[in-house]
Amino acid sequence: MTRFLVLLGLLLAGCASTPLNYYTLAFVAGVPQSSLPLVIELRRVGVAAYLDRPEIVRSPTAYRLQVSDVERWAEPLGRMLERVFAEDLVQRLPGASVFAESGRISADADRVIELDIQRLDADDAGNVVLVAQLAVRRDGRSRPVARILRLTAPALPGLPMAAVVSVLVGQIADAAAGLVAGQGG
């Protein structure tokens, strides 16, 4: 009987593991830019290989990554970034139609936006750091207007990292909308 109780206790202890938490990014409103009725193609968002995983990654010290055991992205990070970035762009460019390259709809684009996320993690100072390359082309073949963005925001206690990342993605959308508006017709 004692063995049975010990075995039952071990079995129950194994079932009481920490539950997984799933996070998604969300739309963050920005300042609308004046926009022509443009068709914008958002190319598939590139993501650094170390981020291409379901687990949320942090970098508590230089040269060391920490992969969470209990925090996961609710969908592949690149697709989620693309979806939210497109939604942010639609709000910031009210006259434009934004189509993602990976979607089912295609159209001849007046502008092409490319985004490559090179870094996205929390640093040793407690900031969320996002480093990205952003390019906007007048069409698929012209020379791009490009920027390297290094954005940081404090990771606030009690606020999930996904909320801070959503704000940073909104800032990238602000920069992209500014580049599109600056290119005129």
Instruction: List the CATH number of the domain containing 105.
Output: 3.40.50.10610
Domain-embedded: residue 1:
no
Q: Do β-strands 46-47 and 111-122 pair in parallel, antiparallel, or remain unpaired?
A: parallel
- Full residue range of the structural domain in which residue 85 is found: 22-182
The whole-number pLDDT of residue 8 equals 45
Cβ-based neighbours of 121, under 8 Å, separated by 6 or more: 51, 57, 58, 59, 65, 128, 129
Cβ-based neighbours of 135, under 8 Å, separated by 6 or more: 113, 114, 115, 144, 145, 146, 147
Domain-embedded: residue 7:
no
Could you give the number of structural domains in the chain?
A: 1
Domain-embedded: residue 14:
no
Read off the pTM.
Answer: 0.86
Mean pLDDT value across the chain: 88
**With a cut of 70, which residues of the chain have pLDDT below it?**
1-16, 140, 184-185
Domain-embedded: residue 81:
yes
Domain-embedded: residue 113:
yes
Domain-embedded: residue 17:
no
Distance CA 150, CA 57 (A): 18
Phi and psi torsions of 60, nearest 5°: -65, -25
Buried b (16+ CB within 10 A) or exposed e, 152-173: eeebeeeeebbbbbbebbbbbb
Domain-embedded: residue 85:
yes
Domain-embedded: residue 48:
yes
The whole-number pLDDT of residue 2 equals 58
